[in-house]
Each structure stands twice: as structure tokens, then as C-alpha cells.
Amino acid sequence: MSAVVNPSAADSGHAHADHHQHKESFISKYIFSHDHKMISKQFLITAIVMAWIAMIMSMIFRLQIAFPGESFAFTHFFLGDKWAPNGVLSSSMYLALVTIHGTLMVFFVLTGGLSGTFSNLLIPFQIGARDMASGFINMLSFWFFLAASIMMLSSLFVESGPAAGGWTVYPPLSALPESIPGSGTGMTLWLFSMILFIAGSLMGSLNYIVTVLNLRTKGMRMTRLPLTVWALLLTAIVGVLAFPVLVSAVLLLIMDRLMGTSFYLSEIHIAGEALDNMGGSPILYQHLFWFLGHPEVYIVILPAFGISSEVISTMSRKPIFGYRAMIGSLMAISFLSFLVWGHHMFVTGMNPFLGSVFVFTTLLIAIPSAVKVFNYIATLWRGNIIFSPAMLFSIGMVSTFIAGGLTGIIVANSALDIQVHDTYFVVAHFHMVMGVSAIFAMMAGVYHWFPRMYGRMMNTKLGYIHFWVTLVSAYGVFIPMHYVGLAGGPRRYYDYTEFPMFQGHFVDLNVMITLFAILGGVVQIVFTYNFFHSIWRGQKAPQNPWHSNTLEWTAPVEHLHGNWPGPLPTVYRWPYDYSKPGKLEDYVPQTVPLEEGEEDH
Amino acid sequence: MTTLLILVVLVLGFMVVLRLSRVAELTSELRGLREEEIPERDNRISGRMMWAFGAIYLLWFLWLPLEYGDVFLPPPASTQGEMIDGMFTFNWWILGIVFFGTNIALFYFAGRYYHRAGRKAFWYPHNNKLELLWTVIPSVVLVAVIIYGLNVWNKITAAPVPGTMEVEVYSKQFDWTFRYPGKDGKLGAIDFRLITGENPLGIVTHKTIAARLAGLHEEVDNAKADLDARKEVLPKSKIKEKEEEIAHLNRLIERIMGLRTLMEQDIAANGENSTYLHGADDKVTKEFHLPVNTDVELVIRSQDVIHSAYLPHMRAQMNAVPGMATRMHLNTTITTDSMRTITDNPDFDYILMCNKVCGISHYNMQAPLIVESPGAFKVWNIMLPIFEKPGSSEPDTKNEAAATTSDTVKTEIAGEAEAAAGTNNQSN
Ligand code: HEM
Ligand SMILES: [Cu+2]
Ligand SMILES: [Cu+2]
């Protein structure tokens, strides 16, 4: 298992590099590129666009929640007369926006965007490979992703509106067009878009797995892999095992919708008519969905762990504390993530004993998660911390992960979940633990590896502004949101004014949340500006700006096919020799041979 | 006003950003600073900001409940709710300690160990003892959390003692209907194919089946007549649609006849105990009342999509799933009146709300719940109309006879109500 040295792969890669030194056309270089570096940029920029769309959606519906029934030029500008008559968001579009916001954020930004970008960028670079195992399949994976994105967005323009049953699209609501307008064409597009998305994601994941297992350079044992690669590898494995189940869930739903089958439908009387469907179960869909859906949240958070581990260690100038424990906890989390899906279904009428089992498995996950947090903190302890924007975002990630992880212990406990299930408490919990944490890590990754992607530096000062305002607004949005939930405020409600119990301070909290959300949205302009401006006008990056140990910084700044002009680098040590006693510098790249008598970690 | 405010914020924010970015860029260009070389001063400032932020964050965290704590729900009004609230308290303490501990350590270390030239970080790649410690301690704490949690969960979900009153909570887009058992104390069978305007829950009785079949036959006849009359003028697709409609109605008829056979067999086998005989005396209502300090089992159903019966004041929730009945145990402890006193709000009402997105009016699918003394509950309950007046299913019953029956029923009701009022007085 260890020391899978693959000289033949390395050699053929070398030949491949020589072979490709011819001039590329614009199309093969920027559009139908097989090159992992270019594909990672394609993923990243698509994700940034999708994130903007999803964020503007959240601002629109946040305005409605805080100021129900008021007219907003902002809302009207985006939605027009049909969905926002007189500038007031309509209730069917409200649900549609929430649904598409969630879908875009979870799948397109934090699955496609996060692991798509960083798996592509970092896996070949950090294991010392010339490219992915299959550049062609890698390219396809992006194009499926893009096609899925376009199809999802196109559903915003259909007559009956986009899917509106929530990002989990539970049937029968999602199966019966007569139950909600969004379950017409919009839902069909949603379902087919997801199939494309999953196809792309599977191609990507298989490629990542094969690449990590087979194309590691000489000396790169599994126990010398950076934690980013470990995290991305496990993410890919979880994805390969979980996503196909979503395909089957979606296919059965498509059949129920288009072919009159009854997988999820039984004994329904709707729009004045008794339907023919008998014998199906809506609960079956929930089991299938969450069998993917829960691992999905780990698909989102594992790369975030990888990135923050790498950044925190590098910028603290200290080895990550407990490298093996970190790998162990990543593995434990990945494994356990398949055994906990039922915690989303405590109040579906599920057998209480089964519920107990899911309580147990879910709370087990808290242990490796806690270990990770403690290890991050121990890494900071007595470090020599350089506060690059990436480091700030990584520390922010640990903090938000603590805040969100702890409320996980509440919602994992079935008895407590009875009260807070489907309230804003849950919304606050998952935004904190997977939304904000993963976005923070993604930002950290972008700031940290921008020089590696574009050969230029991003502006540090703007990074500081971006970080602090984002941190303040993230907490300003999601901490008060717990209160809304504990006050009994259900999620996916268009308007709370119908309830006397939701007045007074409840409204004030909602206003506060919305104002912070706007602040947080506006400050992303700083980031976007910094990002695009720096692509062309940023300072030229040096070879190894962060004095990092990993292999990506040994490749020349200029992009070239095959990554390294000469032979592939050889690895002699683990990636975390920072501030090692007896060394002159506070870092020792992985390519530096062990000194006589020096112990590898 | 608020629109204006927000627009101003947006515009200002945007302008500030552009200004700042120019300034930042010019200064770094002027001074020849490298983006990746972060001067000690900046690291110190960032470190101090970590401290400041950590402190403000934690203080704000403590201040929020003082300022906004009044949005929390009033004391739980059911025994289940009391258990859940107690469990919350226990968990909040544990989580609070961990939250403050980890955040303090995180922000303190981050601020304390900012980069200084000439200093080297401490080489500390692992410490097995420490790692063991912080694996074992959380595990032990979690065992406590799990044991406590499952204990409460088991109590809440325990099977009801036989004889517990059942109340049906029936959901459809976008309202709630309730069904109380009649004299037999049992809810009768229902079938979604029998749902009509007069029979909103689809209760199964001889009469409802007969009426539904008659109605369906009429529909089929009308559709057929219509089709025959217009066969020449209608386009092909429309004809097909009509034919399919007729086929669908015929399938319904067939299935309902199947149901009737089933019912007859069940009655033959079980006699009085057949669930098909319990429906006629059920009471269907739009009002939701429960007797205080009484165990009830809510039987929750849905007609169309998934809904969820959420009673935040009771800390109770259960989904309503079409095609199956879910169950939830409830033992309320505080009457609506008492809660009005406790919350010092004469308009207070317990609310049943839908908590599973179910369509465009999901946000307004609510019904007030009145919790009252068992006596008052009985009075209210007895006055509810019975689904099918006894005897009225016999088509050949004489008017006179019908009148007398209903009269006896009336006196009976009045008697019971008096008795109930008596117990009510006693219990007060
Ligand atoms: C830009 C800042 C964000 C704000 C202000 C925001 C706000 C909200 C709000 C208010 C809801 C509606 C909750 C409901 O009614 O159920 C929501 C839903 C959701 N958000 Fe966000 N969110 C933000 C970013 C994110 C991120 C980064 C993620 C990534 C995980 C995310 C994922 C979701 C999901 C999955 C839902 C549930 C959608 C559904 O109910 O179907 N959001 N968000
Ligand atoms: Cu989950
Ligand atoms: Cu609803």
C-alpha cells in the first residue's frame, strides 16, 4: 500500500509533456481544455457566478422575511412584474428562490465548485503528477457540470417557475404539478439537471481516486500525502458511493411524474380528484434522498477540512498537530456519514427504535469532529502565525465550525429534534456548519492558491476587509437565526405576520438578520473585484509565496502542460516539516532529502 | 423608508469598496510592498483583531439572550415538552462550556502567537496522551448526552396505554380538520376515494359508499352522454382525454366496490368490533380542543402532500404523510386560560401550524388549539354534530321515527353535558 511508486506512469507523463509543447489553439487551451489547471479555473469561475446568483436570491427572500409585503426596487429589478408584482415577492416565487438558492449553494457552489476546483488544482500538483489520470474524462466532468448549471438556471425562465418544493424536493409535492406551480416544467428541469450534475461529478470523482492511487510520484507514500489530498480523496470516494443513490431516487421520481408509476405515491386526493396511484411511499424517497443527502454535507465539508488543515499548518509555521489522527478522523467521518441519514427523518413516523440507532451513530460523528477542532487549536498554540487572508479565513472556518457543530448535538438528539425540526434553528445550524464553514475554507483556498492558479497575487488589504466584514456578517446572520427557530419559527415560511406569536422582538431579529445578510452580500463585491482584477493586474507571484513545503510550489509559475519541465520531483518527507528543530529555515520542502540521521515523521 | 435605507447602504458600501481598493493598491505600489510579505505590524494588528473579535463575539453571544430572550417559547405545556425542555437545559450547559472553551482558546492563541521575526514556532507534531485525552473525554460526555436523550425519546414515543383517546388531525392544502370518536370511543375506517364535499375525510360507512357510488355513476353517465353528443366536433386528443377520464372513474367505482366487499367481510367476521362500524358516530370539526392533563393520541393523516403537525408550545411535532397514519402522544398540562395568565396575554392561543413545505400557502396553514378542563372539553365535544345521525341511513325510516330518535339523542346529549358541567365544577 505504501510507497506506490509508479515509474512507468511518471515516465509516460514525461513523454506526454514533451509531446505537448506545441502551440495550442484558443479553443483547446481555454475551452475544451484537458489540462487540470485550466479545468480547475473553469470550475472556480462557474462556482463564483453561481454563488452570486444564489446570494442575490437569498437577499431577495431575506428582504421579504424582514419586511413582508413591502415593495423593493431590488426585488422588482430581478424578478419583474410576474414574480414580484409592485416589487413585492410572490409567495410561489419565494419558495422557488429558497429552493434554487439551496440547490445552487449545496451542489453547484460547494460540491462542484469546491471539490471540483481544488481536486483539479491540487491533486495532480500535490502528488507530483503531470495531470489527471484521464484528461478527457476530466474535461467531460466540467462540461456536464456546466450543462447542469445552465439547465438549472434555465428553469428560472419557464412559465410556471422553477422547482419550489425545497432543495430536498420531497414527493408528493414535487411529483404532482397540481400541488404547486413549481412542480411543472421547473421540476422536470431540476431533476434532469441533477442527473447531468451527478454524471459529471462521478466522472470527476473516479478520476480523482484513480489519480491519487496510481499517479503519485516517487517517494509519495500515502502517509506523506498532504491532508488536502487525503480529504479530496475521501470526498471523491464518498461521492462515488453516495451519488448513484440520488440518481435512483431522482429516476423513480421522474417515472412517477412522467410515466404514471407509483413509487412515492399512494392514496392521494388532490385538486378534487382521487388519484389512481396506490402502494408507493413518500418516505421511501426520503430514505433514498438522505442516503445521499447526509454524505453530501460531508462532501461539502471534507475538502474544507483539507484546505484549512493545510493553510493553518503552513501559516502557523508549525506541523499540523496529530497528522495521523487527522487522517483517522477524516476516515471515521467519511465512514460514519453513511450510517446517519435517518436523523433527518425523526418525525416522519419512523420506528422509534430505528430513530434511537440513528441518534447513536450521529452523535458518534461528533467525536472525530471534536478531535479535528482540538487539533486545529493545538496547531495554533505556540505557532508563529502569519495572518494572510487565507489564514484568517481558515481560523474563521474553525470558529464557525465550532458554532455549527455544537448545535449539531442538539438536532442529532431525536427528542430535541422534535421541537426544532424544520424550524430556523436547523437552518442556522446547517448554514453555520456546512454553509459558512465551507465557504470560508473555499475563500481560504482561493486566496492561498491564487498565485498557483494565475501566477499573480491577490491584494492582501482587500482580503482583510473582505474577511472581517464577512465574518461579522456571517455571525450577524446566523446566530440570531437560532433564536428565530427556538421561538418556534418554521422554515420556508413566506410571511410570519399571520401569527400573533411572531411579533415584537421576533420581527426585530429578522430585520437584524437581513441587514447583516445585505452587508455580507455587498462585501463580496470586494472579493469579486479583487479576484478578477488580480487575474490581470495583480502583482506577479514568486515561486513559493507562502514558503510552503508541498510540491505544487516547486513547479514553475508559468503554466505548462505536464506541470514540471524536467523529471517529476521526488519526495523524501512528509509535508509538515515547519520550524523543524535544527533547520535553518522554518520550512523544509518535501523534495529535500532527509539529512543523515534525520527521522522522517 | 426601509427601501431607501437599504439602497443607501448598498450605494455607500459600493463606493467605499472602490475607494478603499484604489487606496490600498496605490499605497502598496508606492511602497513597493509585496502582497505575500506581511509585515510584523500587520500581523500584530490581525492578532489584536482576533482578540477583539473573540471578546466582542462572546460578549454579544451572552448579551443576545438578555435582550432577545423574550422571543423564546413560554414554558412547555405538555409533559413531553417538560422533558424536552429539561433536556435542552442539560445540553445547553454542556455545549456552552465547550463553546466558550474552544472559542477562547482559538481566538486567544491566534492573537497571542502572531508572527515575529526571529521567533520559531514550537515543534509539536503530536502528543498521543493529549490526543487520547481529548478523544476519551468527549466520548464520555457524549455517552451521557445519548443516554439522557434516548431515555426521554423512549418515554415520548412509548406505546399508549390501551383506551387512550384518539383524535385525528387531518391535513390538506391548506387547512386542518379534526375528528373525534363518538360514543364507541373509536375512530372509524377512512378511505381517500370516498372524499367528497359532505365527507371531507372519506369516512367509510354503508351510506357514504352508497352515496359515493351513486355520485360516480352519475358522473360516468354524464361524461358518456357528453362524449356521445360531441363526438363529431371534439378533436381526437380531447376525446382520448374524456375516455381516459371515464376509465379512471370506472376504476374508482370498481375499487370502491372492492372496499364494500372488504367492509362486509370484516363486519361479518368481527361484528360490532369492525372498524367499519365505528365511523358513523365520529365527529368531524374544524375546531381543535383537547382536555388538559389527559393522555391523547393524535392520529395524523394527510390527503395530498406531506404536511407536519407542529405544536411549538407543546414541543410536539409529527409529519402527516399521505398513504399512512402517523401517531403522536400528547399530554397537555396547562389550559389555554392558564397560559393566558402565565404569558400575561389575554389573546394568547396555542397554535397548530404546518411545518413541512406543502405549497404556496404553507405559511398560513394554522389552527388554534384550545386546551381546557376535561369537563369543558366534554361539553364542547358533546355539542359537536355526529357524522351520521343514527337511523338516518335507513331510507325507509319514517320521518316521525327519525324525529323521535333525534329527540332522544338531544336529551341524551343534554344530560351528558350537564353531568360533564358538574365534573367541570368539581374539578375547578
Ligand atoms: C449568502 C448568505 C446566505 C444567506 C443570507 C442565506 C439565507 C438563507 C435563508 C434565509 C434560507 C431559507 C431557509 C428556509 O426558509 O428554509 C436559506 C436556505 C438554504 N440555504 Fe442559505 N443562505 C446563505 C448562504 C448559503 C450557503 C453558503 C449555503 C451552502 C450550504 C446555503 C444553503 C442553503 C440551503 C441548503 C437552504 C435550504 C433550502 C431549502 O429550504 O430548500 N445557503 N438560506
Ligand atoms: Cu444529515
Ligand atoms: Cu405546509
pLDDT score at B7 = 66
Please give the C-alpha separations between residue B10 and each of A512, A530, B4, B226, in angstroms, as whole numbers.
16, 18, 10, 62
Those of residues 7-26 in A touching chain B at CB distance below 8 A are: none
Report the pLDDT averaged over residues B220-232.
Answer: 88
B354 contacts chain A (CB < 8 A): yes
Report the pLDDT averaged over residues A2-6.
Answer: 39
pLDDT in tens, B349-397: 999 999 999 999 999 999 999 999 999 999 999 999 999 877 654 443 3
pLDDT in tens, A413-469: 999 999 999 999 999 999 999 999 999 999 999 999 999 999 999 999 999 999 999
pLDDT score at B1 = 52
Q: Identify the residue whose cell numbers are 402522544.
A: B329
pLDDT score at A316 = 95
Q: What percent of chain A has pLDDT over 70?
A: 96
pLDDT score at B35 = 85
Ligand 1 neighbour A175 (Cβ under 6 A)? no
Instruction: Look up residue A118 and give its amino acid.
Output: F
A399 contacts B103? CB cut-off 8 A = yes
Q: How far is B181 from chain A (nearest CA, A)?
A: 22
pLDDT score at A272 = 87
d(CA A207, CA A119) in angstroms, rounded, equals 10
Mutation test residue for ligand 1: of A53, A57, A58, A94, the one with most atoms within 8 Å of CB: A58
Mean residue pLDDT of chain B comes to 87
pLDDT value at B124 more than 70: yes
Q: Please give the CATH topology (third level) of the domain spanning A38-267+284-554.
A: Cytochrome C Oxidase; Chain A (1.20.210)
A458 contacts chain B (CB < 8 A): yes
pLDDT score at A16 = 44
pLDDT-derived band at B10 (thresholds 50, 70, 90) equals low
pLDDT score at A406 = 95
pLDDT score at B417 = 45
| Cα three-residue angle A466-A390-A532, rounded to 5 degrees | 55
Report the pLDDT averaged over residues A394-398.
Answer: 97
Those of residues 171-200 in B touching chain A at CB distance below 8 A are: 172-173, 192-193, 195
pLDDT value at B133 more than 50: yes
Q: ipTM exceeding 0.85?
A: yes
Contacts of A59 in chain B (CB under 8 A): none
pLDDT score at A20 = 46
Give the global pTM.
Answer: 0.91
pLDDT value at A523 more than 90: yes
pLDDT-derived band at A238 (thresholds 50, 70, 90) equals very high
Instruction: Look up residue A273 and give its amino acid.
Output: E
pLDDT value at B184 more than 90: no
Those of residues 253-272 in A touching chain B at CB distance below 8 A are: 265-270
pLDDT value at B11 more than 80: no
Between A14-23, A86-95, A102-111, the lowest mean confidence (pLDDT) is in A14-23
pLDDT-derived band at B423 (thresholds 50, 70, 90) equals very low
Q: Which string of b and e fits A340-377 if b means at least 16 CB within 10 Å?
A: bbbbbbbbbbbebeebbebbbbbbbbbbbbbbbbbbbb
d(CA B189, CA B191) in angstroms, rounded, equals 7
Among A439, A437, A391, A405, smallest CA distance to B49 is for A391
Ligand 1 neighbour A299 (Cβ under 6 A)? no
pLDDT-derived band at B401 (thresholds 50, 70, 90) equals very low
Contacts of A318 in chain B (CB under 8 A): 121-124
pLDDT in tens, A249-264: 999 999 999 998 999 9
- Could you tell me which residues come within 8 angstroms of residue A180 by beta carbon, excluding any fewer than 6 positions away? A92, A95, A164, A165, A173, B359, B360
Q: How far is A317 from chain B (nearest CA, A)?
A: 6
Domain ranges of chain A: 38-267+284-554
pLDDT value at A393 more than 60: yes
Report the pLDDT averaged over residues A300-319.
Answer: 95
Query: By CA distance, what is B20's nearest residue in A?
Result: A462
d(CA B34, CA A459) in angstroms, rounded, equals 9
B216 contacts chain A (CB < 8 A): no
pLDDT value at A132 more than 50: yes
Report the pLDDT averaged over residues B393-402.
Answer: 40
pLDDT value at B409 more than 90: no
Measured in Å, residue A91 CA sits from the centre of ligand 3 at 13
Report the pLDDT averaged over residues A515-525.
Answer: 95
Q: What percent of chain A has pLDDT over 90?
A: 84
d(CA A403, CA A126) in angstroms, rounded, equals 31
Bridge-based pairing of strands B288-291 and B326-331 is: unpaired
pLDDT value at A15 more than 70: no
pLDDT-derived band at A599 (thresholds 50, 70, 90) equals confident
Between A396-405, A564-573, B2-11, B379-388, the lowest mean confidence (pLDDT) is in B2-11
d(CA A462, CA B350) in angstroms, rounded, equals 51
| Cα three-residue angle B3-B4-B5, rounded to 5 degrees | 90
